[in-house]
Amino acid sequence: MIVAGVDVGSTTSKAVVLDDRRQIAGTSLLPTGANVVRAAERAFREALAASKRDESEAAYVIGTGYGRYKVAFGDDQVTEIGCHARGAQFLFPDTRTIVDIGGQDTKAIRISDRGEVLDFSMNDKCAAGTGRFLDACANVIGMTLDEIGPASMNAQKPIRITNVCTVFVESEIIAHLARGEKVEDILRGVHLAIGSRTAGLVRRVGTNPAVTFTGGVSRNVGMVQALEERLGVSVHVSPLSQWMGALGAALIALERVEGGAVHRIAAGGAA
Amino acid sequence: MITAGVDIGAGTTKAVLMDDAGRILVKVSERSGARLDAAGSRALAAVLEKAGLRREDIAYVAATGYGRYQLPERDIQITEVTCHARGASYLFPGTRCLLDIGAQSTRAIRVDDAGRVMRFRMNDRCAAGAGRFLERVARALEVPLDDLGPMSLHSADPQAISSICAVLAESEVISLVTSGKATEDILMGAHLSIADRALALLRQVGVDGEVTVTGGVVLNRGMLTALERRLGRTVNASPDTVYAGAIGAALLGFVRLRKLGEAR
């Protein structure tokens, strides 16, 4: 028996297949693109293929993330807040605060010692401080998203970035470049700016250690460092951080199966 | 006697020369680029060349706009709010309210019958409701900037854009395209969205008398239509209202010169 969690984000779709011993059997990650339904389907299929298990073994599938209602083949949907909380608590049981920075939104979540969501705050109204902000900065500088984090760590004199708006920050960076400022100093400034903004969001729910950093942006080492600096505490980061929502969804699916009240609706419509 | 007004904006830089009879002699508008100091000097040199004049022939140079402190040739810098108010009243004497929608900021200004500022509100923190928002939408739709307005006028079923953020709106536009919505309907939706944001600012200063629109968006007929539709009345605009800031600066240059003369 297996279960799956499918996290359809604004930018990437992720899936995790879990076996009945809570072991990760397979994962997938792909760009969401314009066709959200197909992205959800593909994420599930690719994770299944990676797990070398058959779809007929799947007892329960939960969709989460921005596109969770497009997981047409899923049995249920759970908010990404609940799933990130569950996933973070599974990987790091001492987690009390979760910082999730995704492609288009940022969330701070406070959880209990049992992984229940106690409070959360989020920014999904504007791209400031999200993956899109970093993406725009990388583009202007002519680097890839994977390069900017490590590059920022070579900064000697961080440049203060004053704009919050993603559109305006592009002009600000161009002006700094024109003035001859070093790319790594500008990048460090960009990461610190997002760190400050995120810390402000976290303060609304309280910075209770341990803090676990999830979402695609947590792969960026420069962002991890900047966040730790601005929060004043160290943060947990896992190679699975990007799959935290999908993992949490799969764990919740497994608990439901263990609870017994489960009926898998087959993808083709035939039960 | 001649004065120059140089309006160094985030998107374009405008320069005008005016004589003491209040006539506009020449005007120039060009992209600002990354170096605002160079943009102002370039625009000033361009108007001088067009008029066949030299810097010594200009009695006073007044700079305004986002980059007003970066023009080495300036005699004074004046805020864009003051300059736009004066320039709009010069172009449309009945102006009591004005909306200045530039590349990176939007301002709503209430003026008295002499073009003096009574109240103003602005958004320069984010691109929502400013020209850059339209630029992003144009980019997402792969439509040249100059075609945005004319295309939007063909809209039969404007599509509401719910994202306030210009960056998130870009993704929303892409999903509207994917779901088969017509380009002109998405464009009109984007124009209406900016109009809503701008008019919310205008209502904060109070809508009264004639409304004049200044800034780069006046060249966009779709934007003016969207503003008029949401406002429920016509607005003043002309190709010259792009130069309102520079015109206001040049006019205020004369005021300043007169004061200097009286002091002597």
Contacts of A168 in chain B (CB under 8 A): 104, 126-127, 132
B59 and B119 part of one domain = no
- Residue A57 in tokens: 């073994």
Contacts of B171 in chain A (CB under 8 A): 10, 104
B125 and B202 part of one domain = yes
Name the residue facing A175 among B34, B132, B177 (closest C-beta).
B34
Per-residue pLDDT of chain A (271 residues; tens, 9 = 90+): 999 999 998 889 999 999 999 999 999 999 988 788 999 999 999 999 999 999 899 999 999 998 898 888 889 999 999 999 999 999 999 999 999 998 888 999 999 988 889 999 998 888 888 999 999 999 999 999 999 999 999 999 999 999 889 988 988 998 899 889 999 999 999 999 999 999 999 999 999 999 999 998 999 999 999 999 999 999 999 999 899 999 999 999 999 998 876 666 544 443 3
Task: Please state, in angstroms and rounded to a whole number, the distance separating the CA atoms of residues B27 and B32.
Answer: 15
For residue B114, the distance in angstroms to the closest alpha carbon of chain A comes to: 34
Q: Is B263 exposed, middle or buried (0-12, 13-18, 19+ CB in 10 A)?
A: exposed
| Predicted ipTM of the assembly | 0.72
Name the residue facing A167 among B167, B175, B177 (closest C-beta).
B167
Length of chain A, please? 271
Contacts of A126 in chain B (CB under 8 A): 126, 128, 164-165, 167-168
B110 and B204 part of one domain = yes
| Residue A64 three-state SS | strand
Domain hosting residue B250, numbered range: 1-92+238-264
Q: Assess A178–B contact: CB distance below 8 Å, yes or no.
A: yes
Q: Please count the structural domains in chain B.
A: 2
Looking at residues B154-179, what average pLDDT do you find?
88
| Residue A270 three-state SS | coil
B145 and B260 part of one domain = no
Residue with tokens 């320039």: B87
B78 and B114 part of one domain = no
Task: Please state, in angstroms and rounded to a whole number, the distance separating the CA atoms of residues B36 and A237.
Answer: 42
Residue with tokens 């993992």: A247
Q: Assess A168–B contact: CB distance below 8 Å, yes or no.
A: yes
- Note the pLDDT of residue A103: 86
Mutate to test the interface with B, among A126, A162, A167 (most CBs of B within 10 A): A167
Considering only the C-alpha atoms of chain B, give the largest distance between any 2 of them, rounded to a whole number of Å. 70
- Percent of chain B at pLDDT > 70 equals 100
Q: Assess A72–B contact: CB distance below 8 Å, yes or no.
A: no
| Full set of structural domains in chain A with CATH | 1-92+239-271 (3.30.420.40), 94-237 (3.30.420.40)
What is the domain-level CATH number for residue B116? 3.30.420.40
B242 and B225 part of one domain = no
